[in-house]
Amino acid sequence: MALFAVLQTTFLLVLLPLGTYQRKVSSEPLPLTPESLKVSINSTCQCLNLQWSVHNLPYHQELQIIVQIQISRIKTSNVVWVGNYSTTVKRNQVLHWSWESELPLECATHFVRIRSVMDDAKFPELKSWSKWSSWEEVDVQDSLGHDTFFLFPKDKLVEEGSNVTFCYISRSNQNNISCYLEGIQVHVEQLAPNVSTFHLSRVPFVRPKGTNIFCDVTQGEDPKGTILYVSKVLEELKDFSCETRDLKTLNCTWDPGSDTALEIQPSQSYTLFESFSQKKKVCKHRNWCTWQVSQDSQEMYHFTLMAENYLRKRTVHLVFKLTHRVRPMTPLNFFLENINSTNATMTWKVHPIGNSTFLCQVELHHDGQIIQNKVFMEMNGKYLLSEMEPDTHYLARVRCAYGNHFWKWSEWIGRKFTTLEAAPLAALDVWRNVKSVPGGYNVTLFWKPLSKFHANGKIRFYNIAVENLDKPSQFNLSILAPSNNTALILHKYSYQIRVTASNSMGTSPASVIVISGDLGDKDIEEERVKGTEDGFSLSWKPQSGDAIGYVVEWCDHPQDPLCGLQWKKLGPNTTSTVITSDAFRPGVRYNFRIYEVSTKWIASLLEKKTGYSQELAPSDNPKVAMGSLTSHSFTLSWKDYSTESQPGFIRGYYVYLKSRMEQCTSGFERTVLSDAPANCEHKIDNPEQKTFTVENLQPASSYEVFVTPYTSTSKGPNGTFTKVTTPDEYTHMLIRIILPMILCILFITIVCYFKIQWMKEKCYPDIPDPYKSSVLSLIKSKENTHLTIMNLKDCIPDAIEVVNKPEGSKTQPLGIGKSLTETEFTKPATYLYLLPTEENPSDPGPCVCFENFTYNQAASDLGSCGHIPVPPDAPPSQLGLLNSPENLLKTLEKDYTNTLGEISAGETSLNYVSQLASPMPGDKDSLPTDPPVPAQCSEYKMQMAVPLGRASSPPSEDSSLSSIALLDQGEHYR
Amino acid sequence: MDLRAGDSWGLLACLCTVLWHLPAVPALNRTGDPGPGPSIQKTYDLTRYLEHQLRSLAGTYLNYLGPPFNEPDFNPPRLGAETLPRATVDPDVWRSLNDKLRLTQNYEAYSHLLCYLRGLNRQAATAELRRSLAHFCTSLQGLLGSIAGVMAALGYPLPQPLPGTEPTWAPGPAHSNFLQKMDDFWLLKELQTWLWRSAKDFNRLKKKMQPSAAAVTLRLEAHGF
C-alpha cells in the first residue's frame, strides 16, 4: 500500500511538468490563426466585408488554406451562417471575403469569427484547425441618425422572381405600424424588440419606376418607404448572326429580348468582341451592330456578343469564315422586255463582289401561285419567260446569292406585267330556245362565255351569222360582250346559225346550230327521275344512231320567268350523264329535256325527265268541299288541288276521320302512329283521285274529317278538321214533305199579293165615299144644282131610336116617374120621329142609318136596323127643344160626357148609330119634297157612342135625349 | 333742357374735378395703351387652362409613380420637399399683400416650379410622359412670361435670381428614391395649389384694376358735356 502511494506520487511529479509544458505551448498563437479581423457593411449590396491576415505562417511560401467563417445575428450563439472559404495565402497577406446577407444588415447586430486550416499535403502537422478569432461585432444602428423609423433595404435592385426580406427599426411604438407593398398590406414579424421584418417571395416586375413599399408609422408623419427595383431577367441572346454584303462590312444581328431598363438601371448594353483581332466594339443599337472587316485579309472571325446589366451578363459566340457569310445586295436595273402573248424577257444586274459569280433564282407568279421557278448561275443577267398565257397578269422577280459559297439569297426584285391578247382558242358553247309563233319562230340563242384560258383576252363582241338553208340568204349580227344571249325572229325555214367570239386579236372558231323548218314537236311522255344531293342521274336511249351529240336542257330556276336556262352538251357515245348545279334546291321540280343533235346540226327532242333533287313534304293541304251528305255518308272533293306545284311528287292522300265511335267505319283503318292527327285513316294511293265518299256512318252523328296529301318524304302539314254531322234518318223525308208545302204557301201568298185588289173587292169591298161617288158626277151631268151631299149640321133628326137590351130592364133604376118609354120596354126598340112624317113614315128619308154591330153585340141581336115605330102620343113638348139641330148636338155632347163616367162596365153596352148626310141647310125647305134615293146615300158620316143604360132612363129637361140617336128618314142597313 | 347759371357753374366744377383726377388713374397715363387689364385677364385665363391641363398630367404621372402616390386619399403631411415654394399662406397675410409682392411671389414660385418640372421631365422613362411634361413646361413658361408682362405693365421690376440659388434636381446620396417620389408628388401638388392661388391672385388684381375703367367712363361722360 505504501509502495503504491510512493509510485503514485512519483507519477504525478513526472506528469505535472509535462502538463505545464503543454499549457505553455497551447497559450501561444497557432501559426494559421487569423488576425486583425475587420468587418464592415456595404449597404448597397447588403454585404459583410471581411478583411484579415495570417501573420504567423511557418513558411514563406504560398500555402493553400481553408478558412471557416461563422456569422451570428443579434447574439453570438445565434449562428446564422457557417461556411468555408478556400484560398492561398502568404505570410502577412491581407485576405478579403464578402458575405451577402438576406436580412438587411442595418436591422440587426452581426457577429463574425473565423479560423483556418492548412489544406496542403506537404504540411500534415498543420492539418488541424486554428483557434477561432474573437467575435467581431457589426452594428450600424447607432449610426443611422436620430429618426425614429428606418426601413431597409433602400432602393434595392433585384431580378424578377427573387425573394427579398425587408426590415424596419422603430424606435417608438411598434404596434401602430402597417407596411404596404403597392398599397397592399404585408404581414410583419417581429425580429427584436424594435426590429420587425417582412418577406417578399418571387417578386414580379411592376414598373421601371420601381415597386413602392411604405409603412404608415404614426399620424401626422410622412410615410416611410423604400423602393424595390425589380428588373426583368436578362434573357439569353438568340439568333446571333453576322453576314456581309460586300466583304467590307459585317452586319451582326440578334434578338435582344426584353428591355431590362429601370429608373436605376439603364437598358442592357451590348458589346461585340472579336477574338482573333482582339477588337471590341460597344454596340449602339439593341439588336444590331456593324463591324468593319479588317484590311489584312482576315478570313476567320470569332465573335462574342455580350449583353450586360447591373445584375447579369449573357454571352453568345459565333465563329465563321467571312466568305461563307456573303449575302449579295439586291439586284438592280430590273427590266421586262419584248412582252407578247406568251413570252417576255427579263434583265437585271448584280452588284459585283470581287470576281465572284452569282447564283440567281427567277420566279414567275400568277394569282399568288408560282408558275415558273428557275435557279441558275447568272451569266448575263437575262432570262426568257415563256409558255405564258395571253392577256394574263404575272409577277416576275429575281434574286441572287454568292456563287462561291451559298449563304443567303438577296432580297427579291421584280415587276408585275400582263401578256398581250391572242385570238380566242375555242368555239362558244351555244344553245337555243325555239318557240313557234305564227309565221315563224322566236329563236333565243344562248352561249356560255369563254373561259379565260380560251378567251385569250377580253371578248369585245359576239358575231352571229344566220343563213337560210331553204332560200339562200344570210344576215349577220354583232352583240357586244358581255351579253350572253340574243333573240331572233325567223320565218318557217331551216336556218344555219354560226356564232363566234372576237377579241382585239381575232375571232374564235364558229359554233354551229341548225334550226329546222319543222320543229317536229312530239308528244313525249314525261318520265320521273329521282335526284340526289349530287344531282340528277339521267340516261336516254339513242334514237337515230347517227347523232353527233346530245344536249340536256333544264332551268336552274323553273319558278322564275327567266328560268335560268342551262344546258349540257354530251358526246355521241354518251347515253347518260349526271346533271349537277349549285342552284338545285330541295322541293323544286326540275324538268329536263334531252335533245339529240343530228349530223346536220339539228337538235330534236328525245326524252323528257322531271324530278326533285330532294322531295319534301307537301306544303299545303287541299281545300276539301263537302257534298252528298246523307245520314250514312258524305262525299269529300278536292278537285282544285294542284299536285304539280308541290315540293314533291304527290303519291296519294290520307283521309282522316274522327268520331266518337270506338270502331272505325269500313274503309278506314285504325292508326297506331302517334303523329297521325286522328285514329281512323284511309289511304288513297292514286294522286289523281280527288274525291272520296265516306260511308257507313251513323245517322245524326258528328264526324271530323281531314284530307292531307303525301309524298315519298312525308305527309302534308297538320290542318284543321272539318266537322260534319250526319242528318237524322227521317229528316230527309220531312224535307220532302215540308219543302213542297212551304213552296205552295209561298206560291199562294205571292198569288194573293198580286191579286189583293181582286180579293179585296170580293171579300171586303170599300165602303163607298159619297164625295167620291159616281152619283155626284151623275148629278152634275144632269145639272141639278139642288142635289148635293148632306152635311151633318144640315141633318134634322126626325126620329129617336131607343135601343135597349131585353135584360137591360132588370137593371133599370126604379122610382123614376113614368115616361113615354115605360110602355115601350116590352118592345125591342122605339123610334121617335122628330120631323113630320105625315106622308109615309116608313119611306126612306134623305139619310140612311147604319148600326155598327161591331160595338154592340146586343144591338146586333136585334137583327134589324129598320125604323122602330115610336108611339105617336109622344109629347111634342119634349121634343121641342130638339128642334134646332145645334141645340140637340150640344145637349147630346154634354150628356154624353157626363154619363160616360157614370156607367159601370157590364151594365152598359154601346150602340153606335150612324147618320147619313142630310140635305144642305139651304135646301131644308125642299127636303120633304124631293128626298134623295137611299142607295145614293149609303155611307158613314159620323158615329156616336150612345150609352145604353141611360137610354132607358126617362128623359128629363136637363138630360133630355142622352140615349137618342138622331135619325133622319132613311134606311138601316146591316 | 334749360340750364340756369347756377347749374352751369356746378357742372363746370365737376368737370374740373374729374379732369384734375384723371392723371392719377394709372390706366389713363398711357395714351392708347389698354393698360394691364387685358394682360391680367389673359394671365388669369392661362392659369385656369393650366389648372385643367395639370389635372390630366398629374393623373398620368402619379400612376407612373404607383401606389400610394396615385391613390385618391393619399394626403400625407408635407414634411419634406423643403426647397419647393409653398403656395399655402395665411388668408390675412394673403389679403395684405400688395400687388408687387403678390406678383413677385407668383413669378418666383413658377420659376422654381418650372425648373423642378424640367428635372422631372428628364427622368421620365416613357416617351408619352415626356411629351406631356414638355408640353406642360411650355405652357408654364408661357404663364411665367405672362406674369412678367403684367409686372412690366404695372412698372414692377422682375425679381433677380440670386447667384448660386438656382434650384437643382439632383438628389443627394442620402435622398432615397422613395423620398424622391414624395418630392415629385409634392411638386405636382404644390403646382396645383399655386395655380389655384394664382387664379385668386389675378382675379383680385383684375377687380382692382376695374376702377380705372370707371374713370374712363367718367371722363367720356364729361367730354360729352
This prediction's pTM? 0.54
pLDDT at A75 over 80: yes
For position A910, what pLDDT does the model report?
41
What is the distance between the alpha carbons of residues B30 and A391, in angstroms, rounded to a whole number?
Answer: 84
A210 touching chain B per CB within 8 A: yes
Cβ contacts of B68 on chain A, cutoff 8 Å: 180, 183, 212, 214, 223
pLDDT tens-digit map of A128-166: 888 888 899 988 887 887 788 889 898 899 999 999 999
How far is the CA of B23 from the CAs of B10, B28, B29, B36, B144, in angstroms?
22, 7, 6, 16, 31
Q: Show the cell assigned to A275.
A: 477574338
pLDDT at A863 over 90: no
For position A879, what pLDDT does the model report?
39
Say which residue the cell 450600424 belongs to: A140
If one compares A349 and A545, the residue with the highest pLDDT of the two is A349
Name the residue type at position A266: P
Burial class (CB in 10 A: 0-12, 13-18, 19+), A842: exposed
Across the interface, do B177 and A263 touch by the CB < 8 Å criterion?
yes
* Helix A756-763 / helix A731-754 crossing angle, nearest 10 deg: 70
Across the interface, do B178 and A226 touch by the CB < 8 Å criterion?
yes
Cβ contacts of B176 on chain A, cutoff 8 Å: 154-155, 225-227
pLDDT tens-digit map of A246-271: 889 999 999 999 999 998 899 999 99
The CATH code of the domain at A332-411 is 2.60.40.10
Q: How many helices (H) and strands (E) does chain B have?
A: 6, 0
Across the interface, do A222 and B177 touch by the CB < 8 Å criterion?
no
Across the interface, do B80 and A222 touch by the CB < 8 Å criterion?
yes
B93 touching chain A per CB within 8 A: no
B177 touching chain A per CB within 8 A: yes
Name the CATH superfamily for A624-730. Answer: Immunoglobulins (2.60.40.10)
pLDDT tens-digit map of B78-96: 766 677 888 888 888 888 8
Name the CATH superfamily for A522-614. Answer: Immunoglobulins (2.60.40.10)
A206 touching chain B per CB within 8 A: yes
Q: What average pLDDT does the segment A842-851 reach?
A: 43
How would DSSP label each residue in A197-215? EEEE-SPPP--TT-EEEEE
| The CATH number of domain A238-324 is 2.60.40.1930 | no
How far is the CA of A50 from the CAs of A53, A495, B56, in angstroms?
10, 118, 52
What is the distance between the alpha carbons of residues A727 and A701, in angstroms, rounded to a whole number?
Answer: 7
Q: How far is B89 from chain A (nearest CA, A)?
A: 20
Mean pLDDT computed over every residue of chain B: 77
For position B88, what pLDDT does the model report?
85
| The CATH number of domain A147-231 is 2.60.40.10 | yes
What is the distance between the alpha carbons of residues A44 and A155, in angstroms, rounded to a whole number?
Answer: 8
For position A462, what pLDDT does the model report?
95
Q: What average pLDDT does the segment A610-627 reach?
A: 90
Any idea what the Cα angle at residue A352 is, between residues A348 and A357, rounded to 5°?
Answer: 85
Q: What average pLDDT does the segment A418-445 reach?
A: 90
Interface of B with A in 64-83 (CB under 8 A): 64-69, 71, 76-77, 79-80
Q: How far is B65 from chain A (nearest CA, A)?
A: 6
Write the ipTM.
0.72
What is the distance between the alpha carbons of residues A127 and A120, in angstroms, rounded to a whole number?
Answer: 8
Residue of B nearest to A206 (CA): B66
Q: How far is A328 from chain B (nearest CA, A)?
A: 38
The domain ranges of chain A are 34-142, 147-231, 238-324, 332-411, 421-513, 522-614, 624-730
Across the interface, do B177 and A264 touch by the CB < 8 Å criterion?
yes
Cβ contacts of A214 on chain B, cutoff 8 Å: 68, 178
Q: Show the cell assigned to A370.
A: 408560282
CB count within 10 Å of CB A669 equals 11
A886 within 8 A of A966, measured Cβ to Cβ: no
Q: Show the cell assigned to A522.
A: 312530239
Q: Show the cell assigned to A787.
A: 142635289
Q: Edge-to-edge strand order for the sheet containing A429-437?
A: A429-437, A440-448, A485-491
For position A927, what pLDDT does the model report?
38
The domain ranges of chain B are 34-207
Q: Show the cell assigned to A244.
A: 456581309
Q: How far is A204 from chain B (nearest CA, A)?
A: 14
For position B59, what pLDDT does the model report?
92
Name the residue type at position A249: T
Cβ contacts of A227 on chain B, cutoff 8 Å: 176-178, 181
Cβ contacts of B82 on chain A, cutoff 8 Å: none
Q: How far is A180 from chain B (nearest CA, A)?
A: 9
Q: How far is B200 from chain A (nearest CA, A)?
A: 29
3-state DSSP of B159-210: CCCCCCCCCCCCCCCCCCHHHHHHHHHHHHHHHHHHHHHHHHHHHHHHHHHH
pLDDT tens-digit map of B3-41: 444 455 555 555 555 455 544 444 444 445 566 778 888
Q: Which of B125, B177, B178 sits opposite A214 (nearest CB)?
A: B178
B94 touching chain A per CB within 8 A: no
Instruction: Give the class (CATH, top level) of B34-207.
Output: mainly alpha
| The CATH number of domain A421-513 is 3.90.1300.10 | no
Q: Confidence band (pLDDT; 50, 70, 90) for A562?
A: confident
How far is the CA of B204 from the CAs of A43, A44, A146, A300, B50, in angstroms?
54, 53, 45, 80, 18
Instruction: Report the Cα A696 to chain-centroid distance in Å.
Output: 51
A207 touching chain B per CB within 8 A: yes
Q: What is the end-to-end Cα distance of chain A in Å, rounded?
A: 204
Q: Which of A207, A212, A222 sits opposite B77 (nearest CB)?
A: A222
Cβ contacts of B182 on chain A, cutoff 8 Å: 222-223, 225
H or E segment to which residue B119 belongs: helix B99-123
Q: How far is A213 from chain B (nearest CA, A)?
A: 9
What is the distance between the alpha carbons of residues A249 and B149, in angstroms, rounded to a whole number?
Answer: 59
Say which residue the cell 500555402 belongs to: A63
Mean pLDDT computed over every residue of chain A: 78
Across the interface, do A182 and B125 touch by the CB < 8 Å criterion?
no
pLDDT tens-digit map of A899-911: 444 444 333 444 4
Beta bridge partners of A431: A446
A422 within 8 A of A505, measured Cβ to Cβ: yes
pLDDT at B66 over 70: yes
Q: What average pLDDT does the segment A883-900 reach?
A: 43
Q: What average pLDDT does the segment A949-971 reach?
A: 37
Across the interface, do B77 and A220 touch by the CB < 8 Å criterion?
yes
Q: Show the cell assigned to A201.
A: 417571395
> Do A147-231 and A624-730 fold alike per CATH?
yes
Burial class (CB in 10 A: 0-12, 13-18, 19+), A431: buried
B149 touching chain A per CB within 8 A: no
pLDDT tens-digit map of A440-452: 889 999 999 999 8
For position A338, what pLDDT does the model report?
93
Half-sphere exposure of B67 (CA within 13 A, CB side): 13
Across the interface, do A183 and B68 touch by the CB < 8 Å criterion?
yes
Maximum CA pair distance of chain A? Answer: 230
Q: Which of A154, A183, A261 sits opposite B67 (nearest CB)?
A: A183
For position A704, what pLDDT does the model report?
87
**The length of chain B, given as a count of residues:** 225
pLDDT at A531 over 80: yes
What is the distance between the alpha carbons of residues A436 and A444, in angstroms, rounded to a whole number?
Answer: 11
Give the mutation candidate from A143, A144, A212 for the B interface (greatest B CB count, under 10 A).
Answer: A212
pLDDT at A735 over 60: yes
For position B22, what pLDDT does the model report?
47
Q: Which of B66, B80, B125 sits opposite A212 (nearest CB)?
A: B66
Domain at A34-142, CATH from 3.40.50.300, 3.40.50.970, 2.60.40.10, 2.60.120.620: 2.60.40.10
What is the distance between the alpha carbons of residues A644 and A528, in angstroms, rounded to a whole number?
Answer: 13
